[in-house]
Chains A and B, each alone.
Chain A
Amino acid sequence: MRRGLPIHLKCLLILIAAIFVFSVVVPFVSAPIPGQLYGWYVITTLCVIFLYVSSSEASWEEFITPVRNLLLARTALMKPLRIVVFIVVPLLCGWYFSTWAAGGATPPGGLRVIHPTPPSSVNVQGKRFVLQDISVSPIREDEAHLAEHIEKGRVVYYENCFFCHGDALQGKGHFAKGFNPPPADFQDTGTIAQLSESYLFWRIAKGGPGLPGESTPWDSAMPIWEDFLTEDEIWQVIAYLYEITGHEPRVMDHGEGDGGH
C-alpha cells in the first residue's frame, strides 16, 4: 500500500502553498490583497484543510491521534511537552489578539471610482457634445490627414501631459510622485484600452474638477484642459495615445439591441 506523505505535512504544505499564492503570486500578477480579505482567504483555506482531513474516518484518525496522545500525555516524553503547549498556545492567542487590535494609524482607504459613468453631454468651450453620439473621434473622419493629426497630438502630449503620465506613457512622469491618486498608466490594459475616445474627450476637457463626487475630484491633479487646449488638440492627443500604445479605442455600438437612448 502506498502511504504517501504524513497527513500533517500535507496540511502544512497546502497552507504554505496557499499563503504563497496569496502573498506572492497574486500581488505579482495583479495587485496585493487587502488585509481583511487576506484574512478571510486564509480562514477559507483552513476550513478546506479541515474538510479534507475529516473527509474519511482513516484520515481523521491519522490526524487526531497525535493530538489525543499529547492531551492524554500517555508517554513520559509527552508530559513536559503538554505543559509547554499549554503555556505557549494561550500566549500566542493573547499576542495575536493584542497586536491585531493595536492596528496603528492607518487612514481609512477611500472607495474611489476610477472610471465613473460619463455625463450624457458636456459643454466644451461653448460647444455642446452629446458623448454617446460620438462613436469615433471627428479627426478620424479626416483620414487623409490622420497621420498629421497624430503627429500634432504627439507635440501636445510632450508640451502638456508627459510631466505626469510619463515619456513611456506608464503614468511615471517626473511629477507623478507628487500626486495621489497617481496619474493613469496608458500602457495598462485597464485604462484607455477599456474606454471610448468620447470618454477620454470628457475626462481631458473637464479634468479632475469635472469628476463626480464618488471619484474624489478634490484629489485629482488632472487639469481642466479646455482652458489650455483647443477642441482639435484634445482629439489629436487622444489619437496619439491610441497610436503610440497600440490600444484600440472602444467604439460605441449603435447597431440593433442599442435601445437605451
Chain B
Amino acid sequence: MSEQRITRGRSVSALACCMGVGLWLFLSLLVAPIVNAQPTEADLEAGEQIYLQRCAHCHGVEGDGVGASTDVVYPKPRDFTSGVYKFRTRHETEDGNWLAADSDIARSIREGLHGSSMPGWETVLTGHQIDQLVHYIKTFADVFEEDTPGPELSFANEIPSSPESIAKGKEVFETVFECHTCHGTDGRGNGEEALAGLEDDWGHRIWPANLTKPWTYRGGSGRRDIFRNISLGIAGTPMPPFADPDPLAEARETDDPEEKQEIEALARELQENTWHTVNYVQSLWSYPQEPEVKAALVAKRVDGALPESPDDAAWQEAAVNYYPLVGQIIQEPRLFAPMTVGVEVQALHNGEEVAFRLVWDDRTESAPGENEEMETYVDAVALQFSSKPLSGMEKPYFLMGDASYPTDLWYWRNDPGDAVLTQTQGAGTFQVGDTAGGLVSQGQFDNGQYRVVIKRALQTEQADTEVQFPIGAFIPFSVTGWDGSNGESGGYQRTVMAWYSLYLEPEPSKAPIYLLLAGIGFGLIVEFSALYVTRKNHG
C-alpha cells in the first residue's frame, strides 16, 4: 500500500516536470515571433496586407490619415507620414524627433485609443501580426530610417496615493505644471486656453482631456500612463513634456559635490511632483471606469417637498444612474462628432410630484452667435417620455416618436433657464414649446458642468396627451442633449440614448416581514414533522 503511494508520488512529480517543460516550450513559442527587431521582406508584405484590410479606410492607403471615415470621426486618424506618435515611453531624440518605440505603437494597436474610434485589435490580430503591422506603418515615415527612438522614460520614485500626496499634487497641478490653464481647475478640460481654442499640429481644433472621465483617456488611465503623458507630453498636440531626457547631464560635468547634489535633488523632485500630480488626477475621477448602464432608474420615495435646487443635499439620497450619450447618426443631418460623453440622472418622488436631476459635463457655456467661425446655439437637455399611456411592450420611436406615438420632451436650455414642455411627432417636428406645462426647473453651469433639476406633478389634467407617472410601474424615459458650441440644435443635431425604465418606488410594503414569518413557519413545520416521523419509526 505505502509502496504504491510512493510510486504514485513519483509519477505525479514526473508529470509535473513534463508539464512545466511543455509550458515553457509553449511560452517561448509564443514569445519568439514578437522579439523580431529586424523585419524581413515577408513581414513587411504581410504588414501591408493587414494594413490595407484593417487600417487604410481610416488612416489612408498612403498612411497620411486621409481615409473614408476621416471626415466623420473626432479625434482624426493619425497621419503616419509624420512619424509623430502621441503615446510613447521614449524621450525626444537629440535631433528633436518624438519617435515611438515599436512596443509603444504595438500597444496602441493592441489596446486601441480609448474614447476614440480606434478600437483595440487584440481580439482580431495576433501579436505577430501586430508586430508586422508596426514594421509596415513605420515605412510611411522616413524619420524612422534617419533616427532611432530616444532614451526610455524612467518611472522611478513612485509615490503611492495619500491625502497628503493628493494635496501636494493639486498644488503642483495649479502652480508648477499649471495644468489647469488647459484642463480647468476641476479637470473637466475647460481651462482658459482650451476655451480660447487649441489646435493640433495639423490645424484641427482639439480639446484637452476631461480628467474626470478616465475611460476617455486615449492613451490609457493606468498610473504609468498618466505619468508618461505628463513627463513626455502628447506629441502633435499642445500638451507639453515636463521631463528632461537626461536630467543628470549637468551633474556629470560638474566637480562641485554640492552642485551635483542639488541637480540630483531637483531631478528627484520633478519625478516626485509628477507622481503627486498623478495621484491628484486620479482623485478627480468621477468613476474609475465607464459605469455599467442600469436598466431601471429608481425614483426613491421621500416625505415632504422635493428639492428644487440641483445642489440640495436631498439628492445625496437618490441613486445615480449614468448613461452614455452618443451622436444622432440615424437621420440626416447626422451628428458625427459629439462632445458630450454621458449624463448622470437621478430621480425622487413624494407621491405627488417627481423631480429629476441631470448632470453632464460641457466644456463651454454656449450662447447663440458667440463664435464667428461656426454657428453656435444654446446648450440644452431634455427628458423624453411617451405622451400617451402605453400598453403592452409598444413604445414611441426612440428618436422623438412619430405621428401615432408622440413624445413629451421636458426641454431645458441655459438661456433662458426655464424648462418648457415640447411635444414631438418625430425629429422633423421638433419645435421648442412655449409653455411650461407644469414644469418647474432650476439649472446652473459650474466650471464645465451643468446641473439641472426639473420637476412636475405625477398626474396632469391632460392624462391622454401628456406623460403620467403611475407609482410602481416601469415608465420608458430617455435623455437627449445639445452642446450649442458644437453646432448642436434642433431635432437632429444632438446626442441621444436608448429608452430605459423609470420606476417610482411604492410605499414601503409589509410583504417582506410576512414572508419572513412564513419562511420561519415553513422551516419549523418541516423540522418537527421530520422529528415526529423519525421518533415514531425509530425512537
In whole angstroms, what is the CA distance A153 to B538 when docked?
81
Contacts of A228 in B (CB 8 A): 332
Chain B proximity mask over A135-163: 1 for CB below 8 Å, otherwise 0:
00000000000000000001101110011
**Cα–Cα, bound, A107→B295 (Å):** 7
Whether the Cβ atoms of A98 and B398 lie closer than 8 Å is no
Q: Which single member of A71, A98, A227 contacts B531 (CB below 8 Å)?
A: A71
Partner of B296, one of A89, A95, A105, A174: A105
Q: Mask for A183-212, Cβ within 8 A of B = 1, else 0?
A: 000000000000000000000000111000
Selected interface stretch from A26-34, A214-222, A247-255 = A214-222
Tell yes or no: B29 within 8 A of A by CB: no
Residues of B within 8 A of A102 (CB): 512
In contact, A71 and B534 (Cβ under 8 angstroms): yes
Contact pattern, A 167-190, Cβ under 8 Å of B = 1, otherwise 0: 110101111011110000000000
B121 contact set on A, CB distance < 8 A: 168
CB pair A218 B520 closer than 8 Å: no
* Interface CB pairs A-B, < 8 A, 10: A90-B520, A94-B515, A107-B501, A158-B57, A163-B72, A178-B324, A178-B496, A179-B498, A217-B397, A218-B405
Q: How far is the CA of A94 from the CA of B526 in the complex (A)?
A: 13
The answer for the CA separation of A208 and B118 in the assembled complex, in Å, is 26
Which residue of the partner chain A has the closest CB to B53? A244
Flag B491-528 by CB within 8 Å of A: 1 or 0 each: 00001111111010100000111011111111110110
- Residues on A with beta carbons closer than 8 Å to the beta carbon of B396: 218
Check if B331 sits within 8 Å of A159, measured CB to CB. Answer: no
- Interface status of A118 (Cβ within 8 A of chain B): no
Answer yes or no: A108 CB below 8 A from chain B CBs: yes
Contact of A90 among B68, B123, B295, B524 (CB under 8 A): B524
Whether the Cβ atoms of B518 and A97 lie closer than 8 Å is yes
Judge whether A50 is part of the interface by a CB distance below 8 angstroms. Answer: no
A222 CA to B498 CA, complexed, in Å: 12
Number of contacts between A and B (CB, 8 Å)?
163
* B535 engages A72 (CB within 8 Å): yes
- A8 at the B interface (CB under 8 A): no
Per the CB 8 Å criterion, the residue count for chain B at the interface is: 69
Q: A90-B520, A98-B519 are contacts. A154–B498 as well, Cβ < 8 Å?
A: no
Tell me which of B54, B117, B405, B515 contacts A97 (CB under 8 A): B515
Chain A residues within an 8 Å CB radius of B58: 158, 167
Question: Given A68-B534, A72-B539, A178-B497 in contact, is the A154-B516 Cβ separation under 8 Å?
Answer: no
Instruction: Provide the residues of chain A in CB contact with B295, threshold 8 Å.
Output: 106-107
A213 in the interface (beta carbon within 8 A)? yes
Closest to A223 in B: B330
Q: Which residues of B contact A (CB under 8 A)?
A: 53-54, 57-58, 67-69, 72-73, 115-119, 121, 123-124, 290, 293, 295-296, 298, 324-327, 329-332, 336, 393-398, 405, 474, 495-501, 503, 505, 511-513, 515-524, 526-527, 530-531, 534-535, 538-539
A91 touches B520 (CB 8 A): yes
Q: How large is the interface on A (under 10, 10 to 19, 20 to 34, 35 or more residues)?
A: 35 or more
Say how far A10's CB is from chain B's closest CB, in angstroms. Answer: 22
Interface centre among B68, B474, B513 (most CB of A within 10 A): B68
Scan A86-101; emit 1 where CB is below 8 A from any B CB, else 0.
1001111111111111
Q: Is the CB of B519 within 8 A of A97?
A: yes
Q: Which of A72, A158, A163 contacts B329 (CB 8 A)?
A: A163
Q: What residues of chain A lie closer than 8 Å to B398, measured between beta carbons?
A: 218-219, 221
B329: chain A residues at CB < 8 Å are 163-164, 175, 223
Q: Are B527 and A86 in contact (CB under 8 A)?
A: yes
Task: Indicate whether A110 reaches chain B with its CB closer than 8 angstroms.
Answer: yes
A174 touches B117 (CB 8 A): yes
Contact A155 B68 (CB under 8 A): yes
Q: Which residue of B lies closest to A167 (CB)?
A: B119
The interface residues of chain A lying within 8 Å CB-to-CB of B503 are: 105, 107
> In the complex, are the beta carbons of B539 and A94 less than 8 A apart?
no
User: Which A residues from 68 to 123 make CB contacts under 8 A with B?
Assistant: 68, 71-72, 85-86, 89-102, 105-108, 110-111
